[in-house]
Amino acid sequence: MINVEVENLGEYSIKKNTTILDLLLSINKEHAKKAIIAELTFKDDIRKIVDMNYLIREDLKIKLLFSDDEKSADTLNHSTSHVMAIAIKNIYPEAKFAIGPSIKDGFYYDFEINGTVSPEDLKPIEDEMKRIVSSNYSFERKEITKEEARQIFKDNPYKVELINDIKDEKVVTYKTGNFIDLCSGPHLISTGRIGAFKLLSIAGAYWRGNEKNKMLIRIYGTSFFKKEDLKSYLDRIERAKLSDHRKIGKDLELFSFHDEAPGFPFWHPKGMVIRNSVLKYWRKIHRESDYQEIQTPIILSNELWHTSGHWDHYKENMYFVKIDECDYAVKPMNCPGAILVYKSRQHSYKEFPIRYTELGLVHRHEKSGVLHGLFRVRNFTQDDAHIFALEENVSTEIKSIIDMIGKMYKVFGFNDYHVELSTRPENRIGSDEMWDRAENKLEEAIKENNLEYKVNPGDGAFYGPKIDFHIKDSLERTWQCATIQLDFAMPEKFDISYMGEDNKKHRPAMIHRVILGSVERFIGILIENYSGNLPLWIAPVQVIVLPISDKFCSYSEKIYEIIRKEGFRSELDDRVESLNKKIRQAELNKIPLMIVIGEKEQESDTITVRKKAGGDIKNISIDEFLKLLKENVKNKKTFI
C-alpha cells in the first residue's frame, strides 16, 4: 500500500497503480466529476501536472485542478487541438501533422496536405469535431521507446524529427479513437469533457518558424468549458477587430509600414503627437524620481556583445555591420551601453543609487511571419532604466519601481494588472549562487509589496530573474509591459565596481527595468484600449471648431485662434458642408471635443461644446472652456 494526501479531502492508503480518477470515485464522486487535471508533489518536492488517469506508484500529495484554473484551460485547449487533428485526418487522410499546442486563449495545429484549406472548410472540420466530442473517446497515454515511435510515425517526417530531438529514450503518445499523436500531455479524461469550441482562422506557418523550411497550414481555434464563456470571448474578438490599432493608425494617419522597410514603423505627425505626449509625461515622472537620462549609440562592437553574453544567448536576433573592416552589431538591448556610461569613471557608495534611464532605440530580427503592426516590429524604443545599487538597498529600489509602475499605469487608464516571477532559464550566465540571491530578493520584494503573483519557472532573462507586470485593457486582454530584472551576472562580466566605505572596491547590484516596455507596442495597446478615442491630454487633435455655415466663419476663426494660442491642439473645419457631415467626420477622426458655432453662440459670445464621449456643454464662455481644458490636461483625466 502507498500513502496519498489529497488536498482538502484527507489522507488515504491505496493500492499501487490506482489511477487518480479511481481514487476520487471511491472518496468523492463530485470531485471525480469536476476535476480536470491534478498537480502532484513528490517526496523530493518535485511537482508535475498529470491526467486524471495517472497511475499512482509512490507516496505523494495531490492537488486537484478544476475548470477555473489556468492550467485546466490550457489542457482543454490542448485536448481540443488533438480533436481538431482527428477531424482533419478524417477529412484529409493524407494529412501529416507537425505540432498542435495550446496558446494564450486557444490552440492551433500545423499540418501539411495535398492542397489548401479555405475559411469555408472550417465548418466541415468543426462539424466533424463535434461528432468526435460526442463519441467521448478516451485520451489514452502510453510510454514507448523512440524506436517504436519512429515506426508509428515513419510516414510523418515532422514527428520523426521531433522524436530524434528528444533526449530521453522513452517518448509519450496519446491515442484517441484510432488517432495516435506524439505528445507529453496532460489531457482531459475523454473528448466528452470538451465544452464549447470555435475554429477562428487559417494561416501559413513555416516548420519550426524557419523560413527556409516548408510552409505548413495552421488552423487556430479556441475552446471553453462553458458555452457562455465562448460567446463572451467571441464578442470580445469582434470588439477587438473594431479597435485594431493597425486600422485606426491608418485611418487617423498616425503611422504606416512600407515594403521598403518591413517591420519598421514610420511615425506620421499625428502619431508623433501621441508619442511625444506619452514621453513628456514619462520624463516628468522620471525627473521627479531622480533618474538621469542618458543616450547610447545603436551600433557597438561585437567584442562588447561577447562580454555581455548576448553573442552566445541572443545572436540570432541581432543585426550586424562592418565598419573599417571591424565587426559591429546593432544593439538589441540597451544595458551594455548603460554599463559603459557607468564605467566611464570610478564611483563611490555615497552616490548610490545611480539611476540611468534611456529611451533607447533597439533592433531585433523578427521573422516576417510574426510581424504585427506596432505589437511586433523590428525596431522599437524601450523606456529603459539601469539602476546601480548596493545589494542591501535592492528591495527599496524595487519598491519604488513598483510604486512608479502603479502610478503610471493608473494615469494611462490601466488599473488592473497582475505579477509573474520568472526564474532561471537553462541557457543563462552567472553562478547558481548569484541566481539564488537574485530570485530570493525579487520574491521578497513581491511579498513585501503584498502583490499576488505566479511563478514562471525557467522564463527569466539569460542574465537574471525578473518580475513581469501584465496589464488588462478594456477588452479584458492582458499585455506584458513592465519588467524588473535583477542582475548580479553582468556587473561581474564587465568587472564594474564602486569604492565602499572601507575604501575597497565592491561589486554593485544592477537592476534592469522598463515600465512602458516597447514605446511602440504600448502606444498600440493604448490605441486599442480606447478604440482610438484617446484621453484629451494624449489625443492628436484635442478640439475642432465647426461653424454651422460660412456666416459664422469669422467668429469661429477667432475662437480657433484663441484655443490654438493657449497651446491646445485644434483644427477649424470651415468647409462648405452640412454640420452633420462635419460632426460625422470629427467623430471618425476621434476628436474628443467639437465646438459648434451658430447664431446664438456668435451673438452671446459663447460656444457650444459637443463631447464625443456624449453630452453637450451649452452657452459656455471661451474662458470657462479653456479653464476646463487646462484642468483636464493638467490632471490627465480619462474623460472630460
> Which residues are known to be catalytic?
335, 364, 382, 384, 386, 466, 512
Cβ atoms 544, 594 nearer than 8 A: yes
Q: Which of 184, 117, 116, 180 is nearest to 151 (CA)?
A: 180
Q: Are 23 and 14 in contact (CB under 8 A)?
A: yes
Please report where in the chains the cell 515600465 appears, as a residue.
515
Q: Cβ–Cβ contacts within 10 Å for residue 24, how many?
A: 22
Burial class (CB in 10 A: 0-12, 13-18, 19+), 120: exposed
- The answer to whether 2 and 13 have CB atoms below 8 angstroms apart is yes
Rounded-to-integer distance, Cα 302 and Cα 322, Å: 10
* Residue that has been written with the C-alpha cell 489511477 in this structure: 19
Cβ atoms 463, 309 nearer than 8 A: yes
Q: Alpha-carbon dihedral of residues 366, 265, 539, 570, nearest 10 degrees?
A: 180
Q: Could you tell me the sign of the dihedral formed by the alpha carbons of 176, 178, 181, 184, in that order?
A: positive
> Residue 356: beta bridge partners?
292, 386
- Rounded to whole angstroms, the Cα distance separating 4 from 55 reads 12
Q: 264-284 as b/e, with b when 16 or more CB fall inside 10 Å?
A: ebebbebbebbbebbeebbee
Nearest to 526 by CA among 370, 385, 378, 409: 409
Which three three-digit cell numbers place residue 601? 453662440
CB environment 33-53: b (16+ within 10 A), e (fewer)? eebbbbbbeeeeeeeebbbbb
State how far the Cα of 462 lies from the Cα of 443, in Å rounded to an integer.
18
CB atoms within 10 A of CB 204: 11
Smallest CA-to-CA distance from 177 within 140, 231, 205 is with 140
Among residues 573, 567, 569, the alpha carbon closest in space to that of 546 is found at 573
Chain centre distance of CA 484: 15
What Å distances lie between residue 123 and 88, 200, 226, 428, CA to CA? 11, 10, 20, 46
Q: List the one residue out of 296, 382, 391 whose CA is nearest residue 340.
A: 296
